[in-house]
Amino acid sequence: QLQLQESGSGLVKPSQTLSLTCAVSDGSISNGGYSWSWIRQPPGKGLEWIGYIYHSGSTYYNPSLKSRVTISVDRSQNQFSLKLSSVTAADTAVYFCARAVVQGVPRAFDSWGQGTLVTVSS
Amino acid sequence: QSALTQPASVSGSPGQSITISCTGTSSDVGGYNYVSWYQQHPGKAPKLMIYDVSNRPSGVSNRFSGSKSGNTASLTISGLQAEDEADYYCNSYTNSDTLGGVLFGGGTKLTVL
């Protein structure tokens, strides 16, 4: 059973960069049948897709966040990471990492991390 | 405003059936069979309930079913149980460059009366 675990700073100051890592266990991040995603959920609100990365390293980002987002993969550590720059209070959310089954494009998110709350505040 | 439209809330009594709709466009729901549904209990991660419009992952109750007609997908829960009370989100791939590759609905809160 694949497991995903988010880690990183829970409190970030405005204008700084949010950094999170998702450790993947009981499965290889290099499996070509999947992409690796970040999804967030502001308190009391719905899910927002941030972006994903394929095992090849190709990335796709939500256009509304694209200028501030970087997703990268570390195959040696079997993990992938999120960096979101110039954060504001609007970036306060629970951040989930997730695996998507792909067939050229993402079909569904079949495994999720437990989520980690990131608060943007001075 | 979410790109996929869901009702904010639905309710039903134990044993009844309910249906949650998810309306998009021909660039997403109507154009691809990559619609999925997620159940989220408070404080928990979403759980995949339906993928590829109507397929259930192993371990998901057959009380959950999905369908699609045109640009609208639907999730039906039959034989409602108290444990079904949760938020439900639909998801679809989109070929719209302005929206990116992945869309979520705004979510529907299911109340079991």
Chain centre distance of CA B81: 17
Taking only Cα atoms into account, the Rg of chain B, rounded to an integer number of angstroms, comes to 13
Q: Touching check for B38 and chain A: CB below 8 Å?
A: yes
Cβ neighbours of A3 in B, within 8 Å: none
The half-sphere exposure of B113 on its side-chain side, counting CA atoms within 13 A, is 9
Contact B48 A108 (CB under 8 A): yes
- In angstroms, the CA B103 to CA B36 distance is 10
Note the pLDDT of residue A105: 87
What are the φ and ψ backbone dihedral angles of B39, each rounded to 5 degrees? -105, 135
Contact B107 A60 (CB under 8 A): no
Chain A residues whose CB is inside 8 A of the B102 CB are 37, 49, 52, 62, 106
Q: What is the pLDDT of residue A122?
A: 95
> Cα distance from B4 to chain A (closest Cα, Å)?
12
Q: What three-state secondary structure class fits A85?
A: coil
Positive or negative torsion for Cα A74, A114, A20, B91 = positive
Q: Give yes or no for a contact between A36 and A73, defined as CB atoms under 8 angstroms apart.
A: yes
Predicted confidence pLDDT, tens digits, chain B (113 residues)? 568 999 999 999 999 999 999 999 999 999 999 999 999 999 999 999 999 999 999 999 999 999 999 999 999 999 999 999 999 999 999 998 777 789 999 999 999 99
Q: Chain-wide mean pLDDT for chain A?
A: 95
Coil vs helix vs strand at A121 = coil
CA B101 to CA B92: how far, in whole Å?
8
Please indicate if any CB of chain A lies within 8 Å of the CB of B99.
Answer: yes
First to last CA, chain B: 28
- Using an 8 Å CB-CB cutoff, list chain A residues near B2: 46
The whole-angstrom distance between B94's CA and the closest CA on chain A is 9
The dihedral built from the CA positions of residue B86, B57, B99 and B25, taken in this order, carries a sign that is: negative
Under the banding of pLDDT at 50, 70 and 90, the label for residue A82 is very high
Q: Are B69 and B84 in contact (CB under 8 A)?
A: no
**Tokens representing residue B45 in the block:** 């991660």
Nearest CA-CA partner of A104 in B96, B93, B54? B93
Q: What is the pLDDT of residue B2?
A: 63
Terminal-residue alpha carbon distance, chain A: 39
Going from the C-alpha of A106 to that of each of B8, B23, B100, the distances in angstroms are: 26, 19, 12
Chain A residues in contact with B32 (beta carbon < 8 A) = 105
Of A52, A63, A108, the CB nearest to B98: A63
Highest mean pLDDT among A86-95, A100-109, B91-100: A86-95
Vertex A12 angle, CA A7 and A16, to 5°: 115
Query: Which residues are B109's β-sheet partners?
Result: B9, B87
Contacts of B104 in chain A (CB under 8 A): 39, 46-49
Residues A2-57 have pLDDT tens digits of 999 999 999 999 999 999 999 999 988 988 889 999 999 999 999 999 999 998 88
